[in-house]
Every structure is written in C-alpha cells, then in structure tokens.
Amino acid sequence: MKALVYEGPGAKSLQERPMPVIESSTDAVVRIVKTTICGTDLHILKGDVSSCLPGRILGHEGVGVIAETGAGVTQFKKGDRVLISCISSCGKCENCRRGMYSHCATGGWILGNTIDGTQAEYVRIPHADTSLYAIPDGADEDALVMISDILPTGFECGVLNGKVQPGGTVAIVGAGPVGLAALLTAQFYSPAHIIMVDLDENRLEVAKRFGATHTIKASGEDAAREVMALTGGCGVDTAIEAVGIPATFELCQEIVAAGGIIANVGVHGAKADLHLEELWSHNIAITTRLVDTVTTPMLLKTVQSGKLEAGKLVTHRFALDQILDAYETFGSASSTGALKVIIECASPTSAGLANQELNMTGHGETTAVETRSGLVFDVRAARPDDEAALAEFFRHVAPEDLRYRFLGSIREVSHERLADMLRVEHGRTESFLAFAPEGTPIIGAAMLVCEEGLGRAEVAISVRSDYKHKGVGWELLRHVSAHAQVMGVKVLESLESRQNHEAIELERQQGFTASPYPDDPTLVLIRKNLKAD
C-alpha cells in the first residue's frame, strides 16, 4: 500500500509499505477514505516530537471503512464507515476511567507517533471499540475529518480549559486550523468579544467570517498594546495560545487579565519563558492539555445537526499520490491560503487500477466499490459472455437514466454498441459493468473510447432506473478515470446534465472542471487532465 513515511527531521517520502495486520483481538484495520495533515505533523518534521522515530507512517486523523476486525471487537464489523479518533483509548485503565484518554496506559496519541498512522491506504487501529465512532448516514465526511483532532483539540484544550464564559473576553493567538476550531467552538458559550491575533491577513479575514469580533495583525508589543486597548486596559479573561512558539506564549502572558486563564494549545518544541516576576500576584491560571477527545460524541452530533459547520475549514484537496504536494501547500499556508487539506484515498476499484490489478486488455478481476450512500457493488471489465445480461440491463434503462454522455453525435451507451465492442477487438475502446451484490443483474455500464495517441478519451455511462441517485454513475466515472490514467490518457471528457448540481460539485472535488456545452444548453462539459505536462 502507499503511505507517507517520516524519514527524520526535514525528510519524508511516499513509499510502498506492507498492509497492516491484526495484532491484538481488539484491533481493527481500516481502509482510509479521507485523511488530512495536522500542524503536529509539521512539528514532527521539524524534529520537535522525539517519540516519533524515522520510518513511521504519519497521520492521526481520518474517516474510513472497516476492512477487518479482531475477535474481540464487538461494536464494529467489516464494511462499517467510521471516524478515527486521534487518541486511542482502552477505556479501562485508571487514566481512561478519569476521562483522560490522552494518557491511556496502552494508547493515547500513538497514531502517527509511536505506531503507524492514517496517511496511508490502510491503518491498524488499537482498541477499536473505544477509538472509532460510527459515521451516521449522509454525514459530511470532510467535516468529520475535522472531528478526528482539531475540533476537540481547540474545544477541549482551548475553550474548556480556558473556561470561556457568556459575556467574557477571549483572545486566540494563532489563526491556524486549531485556532479557528477554538474560535468556532468558543461561540457555544456566547463570549462578548473574541479577538483573533495572527500575522496572516488571509487567515484573519477567514476568522472574521467565522465569527471573530476583532482581528489584530501585529506581533510582540504592538499586538499586546492593541489587545489592551480593546479591553480598556484590563486584558482578556481567556488567552488561548494556538501556535506553539515562545513569542506567542509570552504574548498571552502580556494580555491576560487579573484572574484570567492562559490555555495553552500549541505544540512547543522549544522552552518558553514564564514571567512570574510579573504574574505572581495576578491570580491567573495556566493550563496545558493533550486532547482527550471526550467531547467527540457531542461534536459529532453538533456537526451532524448543522450547528457547527466544520467542513468550511477545508480549503484544498489532493489524492494520496499527491500528498507531497499537499504537505508543500499546507506548510506554505501564508502563500497558498491553506487551512485544512483533505487527502483522498482511491476506492478499492481505483487502487486496483493503480496497481494494475485490472490488466490493460480490460479483462481484470472484480473489485468492490462503496458509494457515498453506503451502497456496495462490484465492478469488472465487460466480457463476451455478458451480452445476454446487457440486453436485460437495457430493458431497465430509459434515456433519462444516462448519467454521462459522449460528445458529438454519440449520445448514449447502448446494448448494440457494447455488444459490438465485445465482438470486435478494439484496442482503444473498453467497457466496464457494475453488479449489485448477491447476484443482482447489471446495474450500470460504462464505455471508454480513446483517440489515437491517447491524447483524449471520452466516457459514457448508463445506470439502471431503480439504482439512480445512489452513486453508481459517480463511482463508475472514478473507476474509468483511474483506468484511463493507467492507460496513459492525458484528458478525459464527458457530458453531464446541468441539473445534476451535486454531481458536478463532486466532479470538481475530484479534479474535473465543468464548463457550458455550446451545442446543448442543458449539458455541461466535464474535463479532467490526467497527465501532467
């Protein structure tokens, strides 16, 4: 499997690694669907986290599908969609019984730290029953990735430890993803003022949109002076440090009010001065915490209800193959505007194509696919003995069931065209069929036609009427796109109905562009560049 591996300070690479296996009866192996990069991963790459040794697969956030469970796992089974917590907890040791899961005797923050993490196609999760959460049907997976770590971190380490109160004044130093997560969740308690401090104007603009009442672009004494001016010289009731460097921790000491709290959230890789000569008489409290994820169930419900729009923290998307580019984008946030990046792992179908499990003649093995709606079906290349089943399939397909269309005069996938393909060896045309589980007849058909030289290819897809709106066409498009990329096709094109707004947005997320189709105002041209220049 592909995995992002830490090779020592300043060094990382995308490598092929063995698949994880069950090591304990309470383990689960999860196929990663979406993961992300955390600021803590950048701290590891700087050498700030001594417990993470070279050779470790990084990452501690994500959502996925259970691929295998140990005999002792009772809450989950193969095929379940799950949220992965950044903290692994046994639920039984003394610290877990105190709700301090981050210090579990056999868990804590181990993923991507002391055991292999989630920036890979698969990951082993210890203590699966108490370290995974079932994903509700129809949940926004992008938003759920934010619940793996940054939302509970900002909330527990910043807002709860900082004892944010109605009518209080809060300053958040650092408008990165965790600082913004603290901003979003601080609003649960209706503070009168939330002041965001950062050097990045773009992030401060985002903070305004997310609910900050004031933003300050300044450092050192200038920032302290502005905060004190905004608070009538008193300082803030809660100062949340969300960066992890000495200067920002010292700034929090300068702006905290008498009787206030400094809530440290940032990961510190160097010592920071504590000015007790100034603070000894100020009745302040300083808190530190490693996120315990005790609030994950509540946050999951809040996100699911739409009360907390966690998905708006996502700014960029990459495939796992592009994870080095994702790190570059995330690490250069001041120039790229990145907040959180989503890393999407290929479906089993696409992964199989990338590993050439489906051979180039189009007669490969059957692979399983799961749609966003939870439907599981199989995909394989069409064979000559499929002709009768295809004829039956097209008796259940109406013209309006065409999901993707060829450009020009060829408007549909038809039994006749597919049958002709199966009878004649055509090196530049291939077809694929989708089958529902347990012997159900064909539910979808896709045809890929490539021009000479593989500069461009077109795809058309039909879906059986009673399987519309279940993600079959979309997953077939992903499958064909991955197959075309393996073939060496440079550009893939198709026509999509202008009315399929949700599908068009999904296509954009997967790298397709959508533009008006001049020959038919009811259609849009979708296009994806598969090969870099």
Mean pLDDT over 355-372 rounds to 52
Write out the CATH class of domain 2-148+309-344.
Answer: alpha beta
Cα 74 to the chain's mean position, in Å?
26
pLDDT score, position 417: 61
Q: Which pair of structure tokens corresponds to residue 197?
A: 């401090």
pLDDT digits 0-9 by tens, 147-178: 999 999 999 999 999 999 999 999 999 999 99
Q: Which comes out higher in pLDDT, residue 350 or 17?
A: 17
Q: CATH classification of 367-529 is 3.40.630.30, yes or no?
A: yes
pLDDT at 440 over 70: no
Q: Where in the chain is the domain with CATH 3.90.180.10?
A: 2-148+309-344
Q: Residue 445: which residues within 8 A CB-CB, separation 6 or more?
A: 382, 390, 393, 413, 418, 431, 432, 433, 434, 461, 462
Mean pLDDT over 309-328 rounds to 92
pLDDT score, position 120: 97
Q: Which pair of structure tokens corresponds to residue 10?
A: 């300043």
Cα 255 to the chain's mean position, in Å?
35
Mean pLDDT over 207-213 rounds to 96
Q: Where in the chain is the domain with CATH 3.40.50.720?
A: 153-288
| Phi, psi torsion values for 278, nearest 5 degrees | -100, -30
Among the listed residues 123, 102, 5, 128, the one whose alpha carbon sits nearest the alpha carbon of residue 60:
123
Mean pLDDT across the chain, nearest whole number?
87
pLDDT score, position 531: 64
Query: Cα(first)–Cα(last) distance of the chain, in Å?
Result: 26
Q: Where in the chain is the domain with CATH 3.40.630.30?
A: 367-529
Q: Which fold has domain 153-288?
A: Rossmann fold (3.40.50)
Mean pLDDT over 296-306 rounds to 92
How open is the CA angle 300-301-305, to the nearest 5 degrees? 120
Contact 436, 467 (CB under 8 A): yes
Residue written as token pair 């709700």: 99
pLDDT digits 0-9 by tens, 57-108: 999 999 999 999 999 999 999 999 999 999 999 999 999 999 999 999 999 9
pLDDT score, position 423: 52
Q: Say what percent of the chain tops pLDDT 90.
A: 58
Mean pLDDT over 327-345 rounds to 92
Mean pLDDT over 33-57 rounds to 95
**β-strand partners of 285:** 261
Contact 448, 483 (CB under 8 A): yes
CA separation for the pair 432, 460 (Å, rounded): 11
CA separation for the pair 495, 403 (Å, rounded): 9
pLDDT digits 0-9 by tens, 241-290: 999 999 999 999 999 999 999 999 999 988 999 999 999 999 999 999 99
DSSP state of 141: H
pLDDT score, position 470: 82
Contact 440, 464 (CB under 8 A): no
Q: Residue 368: which residues within 8 A CB-CB, separation 6 or more?
A: 348, 349, 376, 377, 378
Q: Which pair of structure tokens corresponds to residue 377?
A: 């079906």
Lowest mean pLDDT, pick from 77-81, 176-180, 304-308, 365-369 = 365-369
pLDDT score, position 225: 95
pLDDT score, position 346: 67
Q: Which pair of structure tokens corresponds to residue 375?
A: 């439907």
pLDDT score, position 426: 43
Global pTM reads: 0.67
The secondary structure of 310-334 as a DSSP string is: GGGGEEEEEEGGGHHHHHHHHHTHH
Q: How far is CA 494 from CA 361, 447, 498, 511, 524, in A?
A: 22, 11, 12, 14, 9
DSSP state of 457: E
CA separation for the pair 479, 516 (Å, rounded): 24
CA separation for the pair 46, 184 (Å, rounded): 28
pLDDT at 481 over 90: no
DSSP state of 396: T
pLDDT digits 0-9 by tens, 385-425: 777 788 888 777 776 667 677 665 444 566 666 665 555 44
CA separation for the pair 186, 158 (Å, rounded): 8
pLDDT score, position 415: 63
